[in-house]
Amino acid sequence: MALLELMRPSVQADGGDLVLIRADVETGIVEVQLQGACSSCAISASTLQGGVTRILTDRLPWITEVIGGVDDSMDLDESVSLGTGGYVPRYRALS
C-alpha cells in the first residue's frame, strides 16, 4: 500500500515503524501495527487514530475500519533507546 509508505518516514523519524498486517478490500478492513519505539510512546494510540486512520479513510474510500496495534514484544529499554518521541507534548509544572 503506497499510502502507508508515505506515512512511514514520520514514524521512523522517532525510532518506530508502521507495518501493514493485512488489507481486505471486500470488508474494507485494514490492519496496521506500530513497531519499535512506538511500543513505549505515550501517544501511539493517538498516532493510530488521529494520523493513520484519518489519512487512510480520507484517501481510500473503500476502507471502513482501521485496526491498529502496537508490537510490544520489544524490551522497554531497547524500545526507548530507538527514539525520543519528539511529538510527545511537554508539560510545565504549575508553581
Domains of the chain and CATH, by start: 2-76 (3.30.300.130)
> Which pLDDT value is given to residue 91?
45
Q: pTM for this one?
A: 0.67
| Sequence-ordered strand ranges (E) for the chain | 16-24, 29-36, 65-70
Residue 17: C-alpha distances to residues 20, 60, 65, 83, 84 (Å): 10, 21, 20, 11, 14
> Which pLDDT value is given to residue 9?
84
State the CB neighbour count (10 A cutoff) for residue 32.
21
| Each residue's pLDDT tens digit, 62-74 | 999 998 877 666 5
Which residues in the chain come in under a pLDDT of 50? 85-91
> Which pLDDT value is given to residue 11?
81
